Amino acid sequence: MPIFNSTHSRGVIVLAAAAVLAVGAGSGAVAGSMITGKDIKNRSIEAQDLAPGAVTASKVENGSITLKDLSSGLKAEVGAAGADGAPGPKGPEGPRGPQGPKGDAGSVTYSGADWSIIDRNVIGNGDSYLRSGPSVGADIKPPMGIGSLGLRTGSPEDKASFGNQVDFAGDALASISTVSFWEFTTGENRAKYVDNAASVSMEINPNKYGSGYSTLNYVVRNLPANAWTKVETGDASWYLTGAAGTGSGCNQTTYCTLEQVKAAMPDATLYTVQVGKGRDYAFSGAIDALQINSTTYDFEPFGVVETTD
């Protein structure tokens, strides 16, 4: 049977070794040989048999020596050889590491810097603003993302204009092959006039007809209320203002297709591309997903996102 009954196994080993050394030092009869458990009668070693100061009691009460019987000095030695204790409390959080590299945005880029209100074309209470929605129920939502470009005029005297005066400047009108967009209108707009709608326009230099400036407008017709509708512009609903309209024959009396306009002015170049609402009727609605050739401009609350197919 073992000499010690301590549950601290590694401590028992150290204590047993201490006991053996103490007994060996006091008995010449066993000098030169190793004392084993067979040489010691079970429960026969008491505190007085150990080295002075090894235990705190003169006689161990339960007949065996455990950690509670050791002196503070020996306890420290036993504890040093004992099993690992429980983990300590969690230390404070370390400093934040450096920011990682920016991820690849693919073919999507933020283009908000060059899209804004065109102040010189705003009249009266005409207003344009990037916004969320409009949404109706669970199914009617903007065609791209969560937002759109809101457009509002309060009276026939107001005009709203939002566009890009940088990216298209100097481009040939002949390079524009496709123009489309999505629009949301209401029954209140239609009640004023069935074709009361916002639309797209381009300010151009005709380089013909003795004119250096004209606005090429598209007329939107008969949109359904309270729904997002895609507007294609391939039909004969374009007209020019000023001398270019008179000279080309593409005016509000005789509308043209975009191809006819380009053929009439093969050297025309762009100043701007705009989305707006002219001076005719009060209006409140929205436009989104303006596509010019293979690039789509998604109007969102935080800016304009350009996506190239």
Give, in order, the Cα–Cα distances in Å from 233 to each of 20, 82, 92, 276, 292. Answer: 104, 86, 63, 16, 11
Supply the pLDDT for residue 306: 92
Concatenated DSSP letters for 45-73? Answer: --GGGSPTTSBS-SS-TTSS--GGGB-HH
What is the rounded distance in angstroms from the CA atom of residue 12 to the CA atom of residue 253?
110
Residues contacting 16, CB < 8 A, separation 6+:
3, 4
CA 301/CA 288 separation, integer angstroms? 11
Averaged pLDDT for residues 25-31: 44
Percent of the chain with pLDDT over 90: 61
CB 285 within 8 A of CB 197: yes
**What residue spans define the domains of the chain?**
9-81, 109-308
Mean pLDDT check: name the lowest of 19-23, 55-59, 122-126, 168-172. Answer: 19-23
pLDDT value at 63 more than 90: no
* Mutual angle of helices 9-26 and 72-81, in 10-degree steps: 130
CATH 1.25.40 assigned to 109-308: no
- Cα→Cα distances 103→40, 97, 100, 106, 304, Å: 75, 17, 9, 9, 19
pTM: 0.65
User: pLDDT, tens digit, for every residue of 175-207?
Assistant: 999 999 999 999 999 999 999 999 999 999 999
Q: What is the tens place of the pLDDT at every residue in 276-285? A: 999 999 999 9
- Cα–Cα–Cα angle for 308, 133, 296, rounded to 5 degrees: 10
What average pLDDT score do residues 20-45 get? 55
